[in-house]
Amino acid sequence: MWTEGVFCLFSGSRSSKTFKPKKNIPEGTHQYELMKHAAATLGSGNLRLAVMLPEGEDLNEWVAVNTVDFFNQINMLYGTITEFCTEDSCPIMSAGPKYEYHWADGHTVKKPIKCSAPKYIDYLMTWVQDQLDDETLFPSKIGVPFPKNFQSIAKTILKRLFRVYAHIYHQHFSEVVQLGEEAHLNTSFKHFIFFVQEFSLIERRELAPLQELIDKLTAKEQR
């Protein structure tokens, strides 16, 4: 069971029922053009092709644009099932019986503690949003360099975003089916997995809660 804490900025006024605002990439920037390219390629239906680094593009910018996109996708997907993910229904943040995620922010809470899934996810998404809004970490202006440890930052964000997918699949898939959202969830998750596989952004052991599903979703499109 993973008990690694997630860094976050606590805010008692935030509601676990509230969406995080969609993170928009400014129009007119190169990253905006990359985002349009990604959307157009996704439209082809070939997810393996869609995640590949466009020729001549910077890897950090490509990872940044897609990380923002996955944040927005997961934010929206989780937002559809928040009424089912409550303090009572999900008193711990888990991805099935074998995987329980505990909380720490490295500063205020240094020792990992148990918390409910809605609290954990709210803290996690708040933390990710703060990272994406930090121009020193995710620069949007042309000519502003990414930090030297950007790949490490992105890996941590993506690893933690995966946990939201894992919780939704293990604890709320029946509600997702009731809402008719399973195709959307599967496509989003498949896109996410192909992306992190393409650039080796999440260690295999972190994917263990959904490894069987990953194998099933990707089996038909192996290279």
Q: Is residue 137 included in any domain, yes or no?
A: yes
Residue 164 lies in a domain: yes
3-state DSSP of 28-73 = CCHHHHHHHHHHHHHCCCCHHHHHCCCCCCCHHHHHHHHHHHHHHH
pLDDT at 62: 93
Give domain status of residue 134, yes or no: yes
pLDDT confidence of residue 140: 82
For position 49, what pLDDT does the model report? 85
- The pLDDT value given to residue 126: 86
pLDDT confidence of residue 72: 92
CATH number of the domain at 146, please: 1.20.140.30
Whole-structure pTM value: 0.84
Per-residue pLDDT at 40: 63
Nearest of 154, 156, 221, 164 to residue 188 by alpha carbon: 164
Find how far residue 223's CA is from the centre of its chain.
Answer: 24
Residues in the chain where the model's pLDDT stays below 50: 1-18, 223
38 found inside a domain: no
What's the total number of domains in the chain?
1
Which residue numbers belong to the known binding site for Zn(2+)? Answer: 85, 90, 167, 172
Q: What pLDDT is stored for residue 177 in this prediction?
A: 94
39 in a domain, yes or no? no
Binding residues: 85, 90, 167, 172
- pLDDT score recorded for residue 110: 75
Q: Structural domain of residue 156, as residue ranges? A: 73-221
